[in-house]
Amino acid sequence: MSSQKQPPAVPVEERLFSLVLALLATEAGLTKSEILSTVQGYRQRYDAYGDNASLERQFERDKDDIRELGVPLETIETPGDPGNNQSMRYRIPRTAYELPADITFSPAETTLLNLAAMAWREGSLSRESQRALLKLRSTGVETTEPVLGYAPRIRTRDAAFDPLSDALTRRVTASFPYLKPGDASARLRTVSPLALVQHQGRWHLKAFDHGVGEPRTFLLSRITGPVKVSRQPIEVAPGGYAASALEELDEIWEANVADLEVLPGTDAEVRLARRRGAERVDGSRVLLHFTDVNLLADELAGFGPEVRVLGPEPLIAAVVSRLEAAVAAHQEAR
């Protein structure tokens, strides 16, 4: 009987942060095998002599997530071997990632930034990052210091994640207040959790909703209160729900396309034009896939005059309503 323990799970935000740091640490870039075998969050599950297909799929999703955050991840093909996914190298050019040289801070702003940096320094990731740095060097990869010496202590995952993960592990039901778009107030949902998946940088719960008698997918950020985990065992058979949830979300993402006019040289252009599946049309226009019209409307409204929505109509209406609400709120505050 094998007594080999499964490696402890690495939080997704720690894995993404490790990936960004590793890709910033080398000018030449890293191959997929170098990333999977050395970077925190991948190397724990990497099998040098076995099948790493699921780990490679995780890496592909992670690439999309960090690009969606506006990180300029580049791919470099090997001369004489174009199109070979295994020999392709990945990197984040520091010149594109760093602040422009003409941006300066006042003494008070610098003090606040230094205080913020203290929350990131000497965190749980730094020891693992140093370990990864040594391993990269041992394979002959040139790295830049001290980019791997800092790590976050702050966790940004949704508050509902841990109790739902606990309910999923224990295979028991859970209940929580959930605010569906368009509803005036949250409604209590009692569910049998089936899978927790991350799609386009957001966490979703695939669960059997006892109120409607059917499976539903819930966005964790719309859970408005504490998750209560019961002792009642779930009766739904396990297996395959994570893959099916991601397939359903991908189908929705493929079917919905926003037509945007984006002002060149703005933050909106940097963030939106580099996302997975984004397509430039006629210079300033960007076609962008999306999963949730309300979430995208929230984001686009935040860009203000940097973005104009050309379609589809539900997205135009959603953005206009948010901008009108912002105008009304400012007028009431006068």
Highest mean pLDDT: which of 85-94, 194-203, 282-291?
282-291
The mean-pLDDT minimum among 17-21, 30-34, 66-70, 266-270 falls in 66-70
Encode pLDDT of 193-215 as tens digits: 998 888 877 889 999 999 999 99
From the list 48, 66, 49, the residue with the least C-alpha distance to 12 is 66
Domain boundaries, the chain: 12-149, 161-252, 256-333
- How sure is the predictor about 9, in pLDDT bands with cuts at 50, 70 and 90? low
Average per-residue pLDDT for the chain: 79
Please check the confidence at residue 125 and state whether its pLDDT lies above 50: no
DSSP string, 47-108: -TTS--HHHHHHHHHHHHHHHHTT---EEEPPTT-TT-TTT-EEE--HHHHSPPTT----HH
Mean pLDDT calculated for residue range 51-72:
85
243 CB-side CA count, 13 A:
5
Residue 147: its pLDDT value, please? Answer: 41
Mean pLDDT calculated for residue range 104-116:
65
Tokens found for residue 248: 């359903």
Predicted TM-score (pTM) of the model is 0.57
Return all residues near 94 (Cβ < 8 A) that are at least 6 apart.
24, 144
Mean pLDDT calculated for residue range 254-282:
89
Distances (CA, A) of 83 to 23, 33, 51, 168: 20, 16, 21, 40
- How sure is the predictor about 103, in pLDDT bands with cuts at 50, 70 and 90? low
Tokens found for residue 33: 């095998």
Strand partners, 84: none
- How sure is the predictor about 148, in pLDDT bands with cuts at 50, 70 and 90? very low
| Separation between Cα atoms, residue 179 and residue 177, nearest integer Å | 7
| Separation between Cα atoms, residue 109 and residue 105, nearest integer Å | 6
Please check the confidence at residue 7 and state whether its pLDDT lies above 70: no
CA triple 221-172-159, angle to 5 deg: 25
Encode pLDDT of 151-208 as tens digits: 343 344 678 988 998 898 888 999 999 998 878 899 999 999 998 888 877 889 999 9
The mean-pLDDT minimum among 79-83, 147-151, 277-281 falls in 147-151
The mean-pLDDT minimum among 69-78, 170-179, 290-299, 305-314 falls in 69-78
Residue 177: its pLDDT value, please? Answer: 97
Highest mean pLDDT: which of 140-144, 214-218, 326-330?
214-218
Please check the confidence at residue 32 and state whether its pLDDT lies above 50: yes
Mean pLDDT calculated for residue range 268-297:
89
